[in-house]
Structure 1
């Protein structure tokens, strides 16, 4: 009979390890998805800062002229910014130019929150995995609270 008890303990430990690995992978994926944009917003030294007035929008991108606001930045006739619910034609946005391209990302608090939006969703998803698979209710509430706060702050900032 001791082998049955130890094998069920091993299965439980394996389940906890696998579920924990899935939760960690979800959070890492959220960071990875956010960092592609967040790096430009957070690490601004040496980058071109300015504004873009959105003059036209397509299905995925909006574009408009770039007016520099930092030393070394150059005027561009047209730069591209990803179309989202927060980008509207006729509006002017503070932006940072991605190096070696004509693509820009929003800067400032709204840009930073928007860049970390994938992490907020990942935290919410990980909270469900932690609550259901690991049975760690407090940690799940912390993850859900952090993810929900990030999503709410982004919604209010944009």
Structure 2
């Protein structure tokens, strides 16, 4: 006896439902991918103005800032070589008498740190965005290894930033 195979044709409704489900999955991946991209680009743009000047001060005057007085959110001190009094806005209180490498915005009298600690500190918004993006990557896109690598990289950079900043 020979076995005959019988092809059963699926109904139109079932084929349409399977196609619609595939389209919904594709739309989900596209929207979550765009959300992830938006988060990372927002972090990059939030960091770029300060990071650009911390990495390459260009025309900004560079020198050392000797701290004279510090509060919880800013320190003021004398900028060498000009001798002007400038402010360094920061969330970590420092001790008067410390000297830091800075670049100064002449129009506002505000200083930003340069060197590796200043560069890492200026990229903090991007690091936070990468942490948030790793949650979206893991939870929405189900790409667990990529999310773990993204989150671990951001956490390592955050840890290094605060280790060098203090």
Shorter-chain TM band:
0.7 to 0.9
Distance 1:106 1:65 in 2: 14
Question: Equivalent of 2:94, from 88, 93, 99?
Answer: 88
Distance 2:156 2:106 in 1: 31
Aligned to 2:158: 151
Are the equivalent residues in 1 in contact too, given 2:54–2:114 (CA < 8 A)? yes
Q: Please, what TM-score do these two structures have when normalized by structure 1?
A: 0.87
Structure 2 segments unaligned to the other structure (5+ residues): 1-13
- Say whether residues 1:32 and 2:32 are aligned partners: no
Q: CA deviation at 1:44?
A: 2.2
Distance 2:120 2:72 in 1: 23
Partner secondary structure for residue 140 of structure 2: helix
Distance 1:9 1:98 in 2: 54
Q: Please, what TM-score do these two structures have when normalized by structure 2?
A: 0.84
Structure 1 segments unaligned to the other structure (5+ residues): 69-73
Question: Equivalent of 1:12, from 16, 21, 25?
Answer: 25
Are the equivalent residues in 1 in contact too, given 2:65–2:99 (CA < 8 A)? yes
Are the equivalent residues in 1 in contact too, given 2:72–2:91 (CA < 8 A)? no
RMSD: 1.5
Are the equivalent residues in 2 in contact too, given 1:30–1:121 (CA < 8 A)? yes
Q: CA deviation at 1:113?
A: 0.8
Tell which has more relative contact order, 1 or 2 (C-alpha 8 A, sep 6+).
1
The higher radius of gyration belongs to 2
